[in-house]
Structure 1
Amino acid sequence: MLFKLSMSGLKSKFKDYAVLLTGLVMSISIFYLFQTLALNRAFIEANSVIRHIQFVFHAGSFLLAVITFFYILYANSFLLSLRQKEFGMYMTLGAKKHKIASLMFMETMVIGMASLVLGIALGTGLSQGIGQLLMKQLDFTAGGYYALYVPSIAVTCIFFFVLFMLSAIWNSIKLSRVTVLQLVHSDKQTDRVRVKGKMTGFIAVLAMILLTIGYAAMIKMEVLRESGIIIALIATTAGTYLLFMSLLPLLIKKLKSNKNRNEKGLNAFTFAQLNFRINSLSRVLATVAMLVALGAGAISAGMAFKNNAGMMAELSYEYDIVTHNPTAEEQKVLNKIKFSEQYEYHYKVDEQFVYYAKEELENQRPQSAFSADGERLEEYEPVSGELPVGAVLGSNQEVDGPVIEYPNPWARALRTIHPYSIYSDRSVKIVAQKELAELQGEEGLAFLGKTDHFEAYLNEWKSIDELQQDKPGEVALSNRKYNSYIEYYGIASGIVFMGFFLGIAFLAMMASCLMFKILSGASQDINRYQMLRKIGVRPSLLSKSAYKELFLVFLFPAILGIVHVLVGMNIFSFILIDPYFRVWLPIILFIAIYAAYYFITVQLYKGIVLPHKE
């Protein structure tokens, strides 16, 4: 009988339960995705590249577990509020309280188990698709990786089963403490906020001081390092909660007290609605603001780390490609690349030196990142100064001419053209063009090229790097800029993917928390909307009021959360070259997700509070 009643209750509120189920399925699937990447030991041991980023997925799993715990707590209030009045009617008809508690326990577990099955199924699909994408980006083999991984399933099932058990027990305990009258009249309770002038002002000032300290710690992260992270976390979190607890009720009160604005349309009703619910919403809105910052910040950090790989490689090497004596196969690849700058330097080799022509080097002055004093320049500039005939590059042996040594920019430029690995047992000597033509020895050609966008030609750089491995030892030269990029990007890729999926999880789940919190109190608003409709207020105005009220509720945490992101990206300023790279992209993504939840919440809210057509 209890099972039939629980199934009947689930069917009657199917649309509302579907929202809860969707959020839980998303949470479980992403948690499982992280577990497959973190627990696949055979896969990790078989791929040395991924070892460096394994901790990233463990950290992501931990953060996701914490946020899921709070997500389910908020979802509980929504789950219980849906059936409170119905449970009260059962009890007035003679049902025992422990039977109602058992019914609530059963419904919670049914929802939990259904979401667990669907979540693992979706997580398996995500693991297969995302795992393969990650491997493709990092360019390593898939040995040992399994999307359907039993240890990950076990960890996910145990974790969420315990959460659902605790959730069901908590719902039963909470229900057992509520009287029949409270259940029957659950929609008659209000939550009016009381704003106390002096105390509110003190808390608001304290909140601003804490936020200032937190923001200052983020901006000065390069100096404070680890202590700065702790200071920023504590001060910003505390400041956010205090700000919402103090200024938000005061702001609503000020809006309500503005006579011109308050008397326009249904604004008086809208602001009164906000005034009723703001006390219970303040903590939720502060939580949402913090997790908006974490979610959008995680995506922003991931994209910045990806961009950092290219920027690090760009700063390390002046040219995208340096190759000697390109073969016919290499030349075919080079012909596919659109170079903005390219140079060719001819040289000859004998038993003692590698000879370069003074005139050719000075007519095609290579780019350098350093001045004549050895100071790093903001932008690459052509090498300055004259090359004396007979000069030798950094030779340890006695020579007739002058020796070119650091910080002379020509020393760095010549090492770019002629790395140590090329004829490593010979020194580079500068001679006149005429003398080079008369010298006897093996001829060679050094090719340097630079494009406007290095990452647009990654396939070509990879092909050239593979072709160079087959060349003779004297002229074999790995593509150092490409290899550096792959190394930087290999380390950053785990952070990129973790940031993206963890960010999506945070944003979606936190928006769901706000949705559940609003909908859980919607039953209290039904009579107010019905009363307005009975006295002749048009449905379009009631609908507009709902849109405006929830827009303000969603707006406050979004603004503060985005501010947190924009300031918080300074945390990575001492790690990344440009932490704000395309920061607008994750913000747009956040706005899209947030807006979708806003419109869904409004529609569900209207379906609950607005009078239905007969």
Structure 2
Amino acid sequence: MLFKLLSSSMKKMWKDYLVLLFGLTISIAIFYMFQTLAQNKTFLEENALISPIVFVFHAGSFILAIVTIFYIFYATSFILSLRQKELGMYMTLGAKKNKVTKMMFIETLMIGMISLAIGLFVGVGITEVISKMIMNQLNFSGEGFQPFYPSSLITTIIFYVILFLLTAMVNAWKVAKKTVLELLHSEQKADILTSKGWKTAIGAFISLLLIAIGYYVMIHMGTFLHVGVIVAVFTVTPGTYFFFMALLPFLIRRVKSIRSINEKGLNSFTFAQLRFRISQLTKVLGTVAMLIALGLGAMAAGLSFYHNTAIQASLVHANDVTIHQPTEEELSEIESWEFIEKNSYSYKVTEDGVYFLKNDLQNSPPSIKTYSDDPSALPVEERVTTPLSQPEYSQGEIPEDWLEAFRSELLVTPSLFGERELYILDQQSFEQLNASAEQIILGKVESFTDHIEILKQIDKKHVNLAKAYTGEKPLMIGSKSETYTSLKNLASGTIFMGLFLGVAFLMMMASVLMFKLLSSATADIKRYHMLNKIGVRREKLSNSIHKELFLIFLFPALLGFVHVLVGMEMFSIILIEPFTKFWIPVVIFLIIYFLYYLLTVQMYKRIVLPKKK
């Protein structure tokens, strides 16, 4: 009989259970995704630019565990909110309390176990799909990474089984301690107003102090290192929760006290709704803010590493393109490139030397990177200015800045030409030299990375050229494209981790808020029905819901965004421009967040608004 009642109620509310199942599945899948990286120590250490990466992931696991515990308790409370009135009706019809309590326990645990089974399957699947997509984009092999990682699977199962047992017991305990009348009228219970005065002031001070300390160590992470990570975790996280617990109720009260705003349309009702529910929302808003910070921060850091590889390559080379002895095909290819500057230099190669035409060098002196005595200062791009006043120069006579231009920009190195000496000749001596004239094209383009594949092919040609001149295959030619590729390969593991975790956290974040709002929606049904009965149009009620939920979604987004802005400063010790292409993860976040907002609004309206006749 018990299972018949369970199955009939679940069939009746299958849409609500489907949404709950989806949310729990996403949570489990994302927790598993994180653990596939966090527990794969070998992969982390071999593929990260950040040396204490395992320590960083342990800190991340701690934060995710806290967030997940909050999330699961909020999500499973949705079951209780849906079933309380029905359970009260069973008791009025003669069902014993222990049977009803048992029903609640079994139902919560059953939903949890079903979602765990599906979540693990989905977790392995999306880990495989997302990892392959990111690896393909990065041209990263990801050796050692395993979408199916037994240790992560066991950890996820143990963690969620314990959580679902706890939530099932909590739900059963909540049913057991309530009377029949309390169950029947549970949705009529008003929320407790938050405290005012000195408690709010103390809470606000603590929150601002903790966040300020966390921000300070993040900005000065180069000084604090490991200690800074620990301090940031244990200050920003509680500071975020205190911020919402103390300041958000105060802000709502202040806005509600402004008559011009409060008395416009249904604003009075909207702000009253927020004010009465704020004590329940503060904790979940803190959770969402932290998830936004983790998700957006991880993705922003990953993309920053990706785009900084081109910037770092530009620190070594002033020019983007160097082509020795260009073929007709190469000349045709670069014809369509948007060059900022393009120069051509003539040279000849003999058995004992490489000879450059002085006129070409003087007419178009190349740019080079120069370094100051300050080790923290970035190299500066300067054009070679030393005049070539002599008719001819041997290698020992060539000025130092010209030698730097030959080495780093024109790629006249032992890798390409072996032990041949370098010479600069005037027009007459150059023409008299018994060797065929060759050409070097040197230039800067608008978007270097757009042409990287072609430049890689040119590098391969340079390797063959080096083999012809030296008889050996060089390890490196020294071109900018080669430097960029090496840096990108070195950073690919860290980039992969950032993008992988960023996608995971952003998928999870807003569903926390969605389930908290939906779990308390049944308490608002009578309020909206009453407004409808006294003549408030459905359109006005719908606008009130849009406005109320928009404000609720806005607060954690703003604080989470500020956390990310400050947190990105941590990477300034290893990245030149940590905010490069920062708009990309922000746009991705806004799209995901807005979709969750629309979904929450539609589901909330379906629960609280009267049915259309």
* TM-score w.r.t. length of structure 2: 0.86
| Separation (CA, whole Å) in 1 of partners of 2:508 and 2:598 | 16
Aligned partner of 1:387: which letter? L
Which stretch has the larger CA shift, 212-221 or 548-557? Answer: 212-221
| Separation (CA, whole Å) in 1 of partners of 2:413 and 2:126 | 45
Provide closer, same or farther for how the CA distance between residues 212 and 147 of structure 1 changes in structure 2, counting only shifts above 3 A. Answer: closer
Which stretch has the larger CA shift, 561-570 or 531-540? Answer: 531-540
SS at match of 1:504: helix
Which stretch has the larger CA shift, 447-456 or 325-334? Answer: 325-334
1:385 and 2:386 aligned? yes
Identity of aligned residues (%): 46
The aligned residue for residue 139 of structure 1 is 139
Superposition deviation, residue 69 in structure 1: 3.4
The aligned residue for residue 465 of structure 1 is 459
Equivalences for residues 561-580 of structure 1 within 5 A: 561-580=560-579
The aligned residue for residue 398 of structure 1 is none
Superposition deviation, residue 392 in structure 1: 4.1
The aligned residue for residue 588 of structure 2 is 589
Q: Deviations over 1:442-478 (max 9, x none)?
A: 7654443432211111221222233333334336663
| Separation (CA, whole Å) in 2 of partners of 1:350 and 1:592 | 61
Is the 1:569–1:580 contact (alpha carbons within 8 Å) kept by the matching residues of 2?
yes
Provide closer, same or farther for how the CA distance between residues 571 and 466 of structure 1 changes in structure 2, counting only shifts above 3 A. Answer: same
Alignment match of 2:429 (pick from 419, 428, 435) = 435
The aligned residue for residue 543 of structure 1 is 542
Q: Deviations over 1:459-506 (max 9, x none)?
A: 212222333333343366635322322232224333334333423332
Aligned partner of 2:461: which letter? L
Superposition deviation, residue 120 in structure 1: 4.1
Alignment match of 1:413 (pick from 405, 429, 434) = 405
Is the 2:130–2:500 contact (alpha carbons within 8 Å) kept by the matching residues of 1?
no
| Separation (CA, whole Å) in 1 of partners of 2:495 and 2:269 | 46
Superposition deviation, residue 106 in structure 1: 2.6
Is the 2:47–2:494 contact (alpha carbons within 8 Å) kept by the matching residues of 1?
no
Aligned partner of 1:563: which letter? V
Equivalences, count:
602
Provide closer, same or farther for how the CA distance between residues 128 and 449 of structure 1 changes in structure 2, counting only shifts above 3 A. Answer: same
The aligned residue for residue 601 of structure 1 is 600
Is the 1:302–1:498 contact (alpha carbons within 8 Å) kept by the matching residues of 2?
yes
The aligned residue for residue 503 of structure 1 is 502
| Separation (CA, whole Å) in 1 of partners of 2:142 and 2:519 | 46
Aligned partner of 2:97: which letter? K
Q: Deviations over 1:133-172 (max 9, x none)?
A: 3443343568888766777656554554444344334433
**Structure 1 gap segments, 5+ residues each:** 396-401
Is the 1:321–1:479 contact (alpha carbons within 8 Å) kept by the matching residues of 2?
no
Q: Deviations over 1:58-105 (max 9, x none)?
A: 667776555433321221222222112222222333333332233223
Is the 1:203–1:246 contact (alpha carbons within 8 Å) kept by the matching residues of 2?
yes
SS at match of 2:413: coil
Which stretch has the larger CA shift, 594-603 or 216-225? Answer: 216-225
| Separation (CA, whole Å) in 1 of partners of 2:160 and 2:232 | 31
**Structure 2 gap segments, 5+ residues each:** none
| Separation (CA, whole Å) in 2 of partners of 1:143 and 1:557 | 37
Provide closer, same or farther for how the CA distance between residues 482 and 161 of structure 1 changes in structure 2, counting only shifts above 3 A. Answer: farther
| Separation (CA, whole Å) in 1 of partners of 2:19 and 2:286 | 22
1:29 and 2:29 aligned? yes
The aligned residue for residue 244 of structure 1 is 244
Is the 1:322–1:479 contact (alpha carbons within 8 Å) kept by the matching residues of 2?
no
SS at match of 1:428: strand
| Separation (CA, whole Å) in 1 of partners of 2:146 and 2:282 | 44
| Separation (CA, whole Å) in 1 of partners of 2:505 and 2:310 | 28
The aligned residue for residue 175 of structure 2 is 175
Provide closer, same or farther for how the CA distance between residues 324 and 255 of structure 1 changes in structure 2, counting only shifts above 3 A. Answer: closer
Aligned partner of 2:385: which letter? S
Provide closer, same or farther for how the CA distance between residues 290 and 87 of structure 1 changes in structure 2, counting only shifts above 3 A. Answer: same
Which stretch has the larger CA shift, 464-473 or 28-37? Answer: 28-37
| Separation (CA, whole Å) in 2 of partners of 1:122 and 1:382 | 56
Superposition deviation, residue 304 in structure 1: 0.9
The aligned residue for residue 92 of structure 1 is 92
The aligned residue for residue 404 of structure 1 is 399
The aligned residue for residue 200 of structure 2 is 200
Superposition deviation, residue 352 in structure 1: 5.2
Q: Deviations over 1:564-595 (max 9, x none)?
A: 22222212112211111222222222222222
Q: Deviations over 1:175-216 (max 9, x none)?
A: 334444432332232223244223323432343343333333
* RMSD of aligned alpha carbons: 3.6
Is the 2:308–2:576 contact (alpha carbons within 8 Å) kept by the matching residues of 1?
yes
Is the 2:349–2:435 contact (alpha carbons within 8 Å) kept by the matching residues of 1?
yes
Is the 1:137–1:493 contact (alpha carbons within 8 Å) kept by the matching residues of 2?
no
Equivalences for residues 333-352 of structure 1 within 5 A: 339-349=339-349
Superposition deviation, residue 335 in structure 1: 6.2
Superposition deviation, residue 437 in structure 1: 2.6
Is the 2:346–2:438 contact (alpha carbons within 8 Å) kept by the matching residues of 1?
yes
Aligned partner of 1:415: which letter? R
| Separation (CA, whole Å) in 2 of partners of 1:196 and 1:108 | 36
The aligned residue for residue 418 of structure 2 is 424
| Separation (CA, whole Å) in 1 of partners of 2:164 and 2:483 | 47
